[in-house]
């Protein structure tokens, strides 16, 4: 009798485990589908072309930044300095373009982001310090610099050409930000999947020591990921300043947390070696869609924060549950 019940239990596990495992791995997609179905029951303008484009346009800057952060997470790191870097970059661009060509101001801002990433990478890789502590400290430093430059006041751009960078519509009425986001998505996906650097990122994040012993320059790969993350944060700062036609030291206060959470929600593991750009795109989109849905339903802003926190915790719990089950199966 016991053997028969044991066989039934094993058979049930064989059927259910692959299904639940796949469901957990695709948690971000499931979350989007649930929101799409839920909004069918409410009389809102959620499914209008205007709202969908606006939602993607609002998510574009976070998505672009998250693509850079994804590299650091896959390499086994994390970057919490990106929000402050974004804020400072926008301010620097606006100040510099008053005395030099716009392209030159943007280039210098992106180089500042690269330098920030270089310092982060140096402290983390060369001195083997904790990425979270280093990048949080760097974020505080950058925010302080931004406040000192602006005296904690907004800096207006007042440049029509600069505004058109993020607010223009060049291709078939689609906002520039969405076009830039899609180009970056394809570019970063190709880098991760079809280049030696991308494959090395997965190897370094999967097992740093093994990657080194196999001939991969692990330090260089991980260091480079932080440089790229800094550059993308700076680029996003330029885009945000262009979109809002102003720079401010308060921009990006919660951006770093949102971006890193979006990466993990999409399936990129903080443990390193797991994830990808399409997953990050979906993960960040989940958070943006959730905010859009709650705005459409007229939910209080404070209640929105509680709901977002609960949902993020649930998704992360499912991620930990899947890893535990996988470890037990092995």
Q: What is the pLDDT of residues 249-262, one digit of tens each?
A: 988 878 998 899 89
Q: Cα–Cα distance between 31 and 282 in angstroms, integer?
A: 10
Q: For the chain, how big is the Rg over CA atoms in Å? A: 21
**pLDDT of 21 above 80:** no
Alpha helices (runs of H) in the chain, residue ranges in sequence order? 2-25, 27-39, 49-74, 82-96, 102-121, 131-150, 160-167, 176-194, 196-206, 208-213, 218-244, 255-266, 277-296, 301-329
For the ranges 25-29, 108-112, 146-150, the lowest mean pLDDT is seen at 25-29
**Predicted pLDDT of residue 9:** 43
**pLDDT of 323 above 80:** no
For the ranges 16-20, 54-58, 94-98, the lowest mean pLDDT is seen at 16-20
Average per-residue pLDDT in the chain? Answer: 87
123-173 residue pLDDT tens: 999 988 999 999 999 999 999 999 999 988 999 988 889 999 999 988 878
**pLDDT of 320 above 80:** no
Q: Can you spell out the DSSP letters for 278-291?
A: HHHHHHHHHHHHHH
What tokens does 185 get? 């998505």
**Predicted pLDDT of residue 30:** 81
**Predicted pLDDT of residue 308:** 79
pLDDT grade, residue 17 (50/70/90)?
very low
**Predicted pLDDT of residue 318:** 72
Q: Is the CATH number 1.10.3470 carried by domain 47-298?
A: yes
**Predicted pLDDT of residue 95:** 95
Collapsing DSSP states into helix, strand and coil, what is residue 248?
A: coil
**Predicted pLDDT of residue 123:** 95
**Predicted pLDDT of residue 226:** 97
Handedness of CA 69, 61, 141, 136 (dihedral sign): negative
**Predicted pLDDT of residue 18:** 41
44-91 residue pLDDT tens: 888 888 899 999 999 999 999 999 999 999 999 999 999 999 999 999
Contact 280, 295 (CB under 8 A): no
DSSP assignment letter at 151: T
Contact 125, 270 (CB under 8 A): no
Burial 35-52 (b: 16+ CB within 10 A, else e): beeebeeeeeebeeeeee
| pTM for the model | 0.87
195-239 residue pLDDT tens: 999 999 999 999 999 999 999 999 999 999 999 999 999 999 999
The set of residues, in sequence order, having a beta carbon less than 8 Å from that of 178 and lying 6+ positions away, is 53, 56, 57, 60
């Amino acid at each position: 009798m016991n053997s028969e019940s044991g066989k039934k239990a094993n058979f049930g596990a064989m059927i259910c485990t692959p299904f639940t495992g796949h469901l957990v791995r695709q948690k971000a997609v499931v979350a989007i589908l649930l929101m799409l179905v839920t909004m069918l029951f409410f009389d809102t303008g959620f499914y209008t072309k205007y709202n969908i484009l606006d939602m993607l346009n609002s998510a574009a800057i976070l998505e672009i930044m998250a693509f850079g952060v994804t590299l650091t997470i896959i390499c086994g790191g994390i970057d919490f300095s990106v929000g402050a870097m974004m804020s400072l970059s926008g301010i620097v661009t606006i100040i510099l373009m008053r005395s030099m060509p716009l392209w030159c101001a943007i280039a210098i801002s992106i180089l500042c982001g690269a330098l920030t990433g270089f310092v982060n990478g140096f402290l983390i890789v060369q001195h083997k310090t904790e990425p979270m502590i280093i990048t949080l400290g760097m974020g505080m430093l950058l925010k302080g610099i931004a406040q000192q430059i602006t005296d904690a006041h907004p800096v207006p751009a007042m440049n029509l050409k600069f505004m058109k960078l993020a607010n223009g519509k060049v291709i078939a009425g689609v906002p520039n930000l969405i076009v830039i986001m899609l180009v970056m998505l394809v570019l970063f996906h190709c880098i991760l999947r079809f280049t030696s650097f991308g494959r090395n990122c997965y190897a370094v994040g999967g097992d740093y020591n093994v990657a080194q012993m196999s001939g991969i320059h692990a330090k260089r790969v991980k260091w480079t990921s932080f440089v790229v993350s800094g550059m993308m944060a700076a680029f996003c700062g330029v885009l945000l300043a262009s979109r809002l036609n102003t720079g401010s030291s308060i921009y990006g206060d919660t951006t770093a947390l949102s971006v890193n959470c979006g990466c993990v929600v999409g399936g990129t593991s903080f443990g390193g070696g797991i994830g990808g750009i399409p997953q990050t795109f979906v993960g960040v989109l989940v958070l943006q869609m959730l905010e859009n849905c709650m705005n459409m339903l007229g939910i209080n802003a404070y209640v929105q924060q509680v709901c977002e926190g609960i949902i993020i915790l649930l998704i992360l719990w499912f991620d930990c549950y899947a890893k535990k089950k996988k470890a037990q199966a092995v």
